[in-house]
Amino acid sequence: MRTGTPSPQKPARNLMKPLLQNLQGHATARPPVWLMRQAGRYLPEYRALRAKAKNFIAFCLDPELATEVTLQPVRRFGMDAAILFADILLVPHALGQSVAFVENEGPKLDPIRNAAALAQLSDARFAETLSPVMQTIKRVRAALPDTVALIGFAGAPWTVATYMIEGEGGTDYERTRAMAWSEPALFSAVIDRITAATISYLMAQIEAGAEALQLFDSWAGAVPAPLFDTAVIEPTKRIVSALKAKHPAIPIIGFPRAAGSHVARYAALTGVDAVGIDHMTDLTAAVMPDGIAVQGNLDPVLLLHGGAAMEREVRGLVAAMAGKPFVFNLGHGVMQPTPPEHVARLVALVKGAA
């Protein structure tokens, strides 16, 4: 062995984790693969554990159950990353807003539509409420194989704000957009409140052992174009720079879903290390600033149906992205009726074993 070269017996930890290598701008022989919503109701072993918790928030805040659910898809499919099992609405819950997940209806919150309601939020129990999440992260890290990375996450401020202001999902975000247009000071105060909480939540996730982070801006596509900077780019940039100031080596994936024409500016201005691309956008044509990785973007419906169309598209995407920093994922989450065998087939295809 030549002197001066690092010992081959002791590679830096992240050299063993293809996810982290790609997020740091280095392509690997085959892309790493994980899927948004890889844990969830499409897995029978998830449904079995879900039945043990009294409600969804209690489920997320039970370190034993949340650890097990986080590990389930890694064990079953050999994913290259685990994503912490939690939810973006734990942040409003921990700020004291009333949040409930109603069976078959989705989340219901006591909406915040004026300064008085905003002033009711409190940091007093924030860290304590979320401390079970940090326990989950520690347990998952201890259980993961050396090649598998743990992704922590939070909702981006705009997306979390839509739930906090509307009080539910599945809307056209009319109230949120109205507030952003006609009460800009109140809207900014809501965004600032979420931004500050998200920074402390993600800081704690890193300190507990998260090795990469994803910011889910699932409803970024609903932001009126003239407001995109104030609602999406600026708060995301503030979160990224606060985290990078303390933890520069932790890569951050931004997922501005359906943001279309804004994606290039988002990639250039927010400071994220990787951008998640939805299935409405041509990922192979996405022009990223130097060193920025892309993640995505198979249509979840192709995974639901499987078969020849899925195989062709998976192979095509892997071939088109060869040699570039790339993380294989869907364009949005796994759909509930998806057969687990299709997920197994997808992972085998990406890993080149099929």
Q: Annotated catalytic residue: which of 46, 80, 139, 163?
A: 163
**DSSP, residue by residue, 226-273:** GGHIIIIIHHHHHHHHHHHHH-TTS-EEEEETT-GGGHHHHHHHS--S
Name the closest residue to ligand 1CP (Cβ).
Answer: 169
Would you tell me which residues interact with ligand 1CP (CB under 6 A)?
36-41, 50, 56, 83, 85, 87-89, 101, 106-107, 153, 169-170, 216, 218, 333
**Residue with smaller CB distance to ligand 1CP, 82 or 293:** 82
**Residue with smaller CB distance to ligand 1CP, 23 or 315:** 23
Distance in Å, CB of 159 to ligand 1CP, minimum: 6
Q: Is 266 a catalytic residue?
A: no
- Burial-class residue 129 by CB neighbours within 10 Å (0-12, 13-18, 19+): middle
Q: Annotated catalytic residue: which of 42, 46, 80, 87?
A: 87
Distance in Å, CB of 169 to ligand 1CP, minimum: 2
| C-alpha to C-alpha distance for 265 and 45, rounded to whole angstroms | 41
Distance in Å, CB of 40 to ligand 1CP, minimum: 4
**Residue with smaller CB distance to ligand 1CP, 27 or 344:** 344
Q: Is 265 a catalytic residue?
A: no
- Burial-class residue 336 by CB neighbours within 10 Å (0-12, 13-18, 19+): exposed
**Residue with smaller CB distance to ligand 1CP, 218 or 281:** 218
Q: Is 41 a catalytic residue?
A: yes
Distance in Å, CB of 295 to ligand 1CP, minimum: 13
| C-alpha to C-alpha distance for 164 and 156, rounded to whole angstroms | 12
Q: Is 146 a catalytic residue?
A: no
34 in Cβ contact with 81 (< 8 Å)? yes
Q: Is 87 a catalytic residue?
A: yes
**Residue with smaller CB distance to ligand 1CP, 98 or 184:** 98
Q: Where are the strands (E) in the chain, listed by range?
A: 81-83, 99-102, 106-109, 149-155, 212-217, 252-256, 274-276, 293-298, 326-330
- Residues forming the active site: 37, 41, 50, 87, 163
